[in-house]
Amino acid sequence: MITIESTTANLEESLSRAGLTSFLNRARAAVGLPGEVEVLLSDDPTLRRLNKSFRGKNKSTDVLSFPTPAEIAYAQAGDLAISLETAARQAATYGHSLRDEVRILILHGLLHLSGLDHETDNGEMAAREATLRRQLRLPNTLIERVEISANETVRISGKKTPPTRKKSTPALILLKKSKLRRTT
């Protein structure tokens, strides 16, 4: 089920609850999650509060995943919380729709619910996310975008963006498949 908080009503207009629910179900099946997933679409202050309460990080974020205990995962896989404000900024930065950005964040969150963690694995989540992105016809995934910006300066919507953190990735392959153009 998709819940959109009233504080994000101006962003809600560009989203279809039925369309997002359909995508959620297709993505959940592709990831292999048998249980239901609840998705809260909210704002930056809500995600900041949740991030502080559950992860000890006093900042907003784009998506949070809350898995359920293994003994009930067959019925309820977990919950996702997504900031529509952050999603809208990221969509503008990467040149695609808010709908596509929310879908990217749903996929990313579902992979976390399935037990994958890009912060601790050896690229397994990134590889799985890239495969599912292509299968579900999504633009570059969250992990791919972070890895691209970590390795190269890229041009996004005419703006030069410097690398932000160090990680290795086949950035040329990712750039070839995306709307991003490599700069020298």
* 128 and 84 co-located in one domain: yes
- What's the confidence (pLDDT) of residue 6? 57
* 50 and 119 co-located in one domain: yes
Mean pLDDT in each 10-residue stretch from start to end of the chain (184 residues)? 70 81 95 94 94 92 93 92 94 91 95 88 86 88 54 42 35 30 31
- What's the confidence (pLDDT) of residue 158? 43
- What's the confidence (pLDDT) of residue 8? 60
* 52 and 89 co-located in one domain: yes
* 6 and 24 co-located in one domain: yes
- What's the confidence (pLDDT) of residue 26? 95
State the CB neighbour count (10 A cutoff) for residue 98: 19
* 100 and 178 co-located in one domain: no
* 79 and 18 co-located in one domain: yes
* 93 and 158 co-located in one domain: no
Per-residue pLDDT of 53-86, as tens digits, reads 999 999 989 999 999 998 998 899 999 999 999 9
* 132 and 162 co-located in one domain: no
Residue 150 belongs to domain spanning: 142-184
* 87 and 163 co-located in one domain: no
pTM of the model: 0.74
Q: Domain count for the chain, please give it.
A: 2
- What's the confidence (pLDDT) of residue 14? 73
CATH of the domain at 42: 3.40.390.30
* 160 and 109 co-located in one domain: no
* 54 and 29 co-located in one domain: yes
